Amino acid sequence: ETGVTQSPTHLIKTRGQQVTLRCSSQSGHNTVSWYQQALGQGPQFIFQYYREEENGRGNFPPRFSGLQFPNYSSELNVNALELDDSALYLCASSLGGGGADTQYFGPGTRLTVL
Amino acid sequence: QQQVKQSPQSLIVQKGGISIINCAYENTAFDYFPWYQQFPGKGPALLIAIRPDVSEKKEGRFTISFNKSAKQFSLHIMDSQPGDSATYFCAARMDTGRRALTFGSGTRLQVQP
């Protein structure tokens, strides 16, 4: 186990709703990255937070937003949910500026949008 | 420019055999290449990683071979075991900027007893 925890484990929402996913990073890690993994595909980078500031963003629309707290835990918020948002959402924590070190993944949150 | 192409999509190997998964990249700014293993219902777990200044790295039964000129790298699993049955992802990352991982599409490995 990596020490990275995510909640909830599973979530079912309907199109147009909003969702918040949570991640607790491994002890001592100050960087959290979020990824979306569609069924049968590799994870796709959403964004990264380093010391409470966004430190890079992938090709995702603004309705995907995030937050990192002083204890380095993080939230991923998705507004106006679409069917294609159904996926496994992974967070990964790492130590160092910009996520220089190994990224350790949590078990993910499975989001289903109906 | 950001793509990492992975093959094969699926692989069946007999117990004790060698599993080989290949990846190719285009962006020469990538300078860190990890392999992740993912079991159903779990997040990816780091297996082994390599930087382009070496051509091979071995850890136990797992070996990465790296060909910088061809922009290709591969994972070799020696003496494959049924417990190795999982999905394997190669990835790449730049050492500057946001340092996000760019993943391949994954290889589903099945090791038959």
* pLDDT recorded at residue A100: 53
What percentage of chain A carries pLDDT values higher than 70? 94
The half-sphere exposure of B64 on its side-chain side, counting CA atoms within 13 A, is 28
Which chain B residues are within 8 Å of A90, Cβ to Cβ? 43-44
Write down the pLDDT at residue A102.
84
Name the pLDDT band for B41 (thresholds 50, 70, 90).
confident
On the 0-12 / 13-18 / 19+ scale of CB atoms within 10 A, B1 is exposed
- pLDDT for residue A23 is more than 60: yes
**Residue A70 at interface with chain B, using a CB cutoff of 8 Å:** no
Residue of B nearest to A5 (CA): B43
Give B97's contacts in chain A (Cβ within 8 Å). 56, 98
Per the model's pLDDT, the better-predicted residue between B41 and B102 turns out to be B102
Report H helices in chain A: none
Tens digit of each residue's pLDDT (9 = 90 or more) over A52-83 = 999 889 999 999 999 999 999 999 999 999 99
What is the predicted pLDDT for the residue at A88? 97
Is B80 near chain A, with CB under 8 Å?
Answer: no
